[in-house]
Amino acid sequence: MADNAVMTHKPGHKVIRIADSGEPFVEAFRCADCGAVFPDHTLACRKCGSRDGVAPFRSLETGRLYSWSIVHRSYPGITVPFVSAIVDLDGGLALKGTLRDADEADLREGLPVRLVFDDAGGARDKNDVPYVGFHFVPAGDA
């Protein structure tokens, strides 16, 4: 992004990046030797120890539900209950987030989901620039 560009939103999570087009995406890192995937940059692969290259890539936004918990108690202002989920994204990255728009009876390991970017609960920085966050929703048949 150019130095004189006006930022319309900023990442609200360490894996979120903003493309030059302004579109948010999830960036992950893959080991060139063993293919292990990490949510953050590392000088050496945490799986095989290789120092030959851990390169960034744009993560896919589809995946499968790995695990979940129904949260019934939270901080003031947080609506409960909600589904706290761990999702294995296609391409290897695992992320924790909130699963929305899912009936409790439909939750199962392997449920197809997709990642959706949102306004991070209305959070803004000191310059009133909104943060962008993410959550998951069931993918349905799409």
Q: Is residue 6 part of a domain?
A: no
Q: Is residue 76 part of a domain?
A: yes
Where in the sequence is the domain holding 103, given as residue range(s)?
12-138
Instruction: Note the pLDDT of residue 1.
Output: 41
List, for residues 20-38, the tens digit of each pLDDT value: 998 999 999 999 999 999 9
Q: Is residue 29 part of a domain?
A: yes
Q: Is residue 31 part of a domain?
A: yes
What is the DSSP track for the chain? --TTPPPS-EESSTTEEE-TTS-EEEEEEEETTT--EESS--SS-TTT---S-EEEEEPPSEEEEEEEEEE---STT--SSEEEEEEEETTS-EEEEEE-S--GGG--TT-EEEEEEE-GGG-B-TT-PBEEEEEEEE-TT-
Instruction: Note the pLDDT of residue 122.
Output: 87
List, for residues 86-129, the tens digit of each pLDDT value: 999 999 999 999 999 999 999 999 999 999 999 988 889 999 99
Q: Is residue 80 part of a domain?
A: yes
pTM reported for the whole predicted model:
0.86
Q: Is residue 106 part of a domain?
A: yes
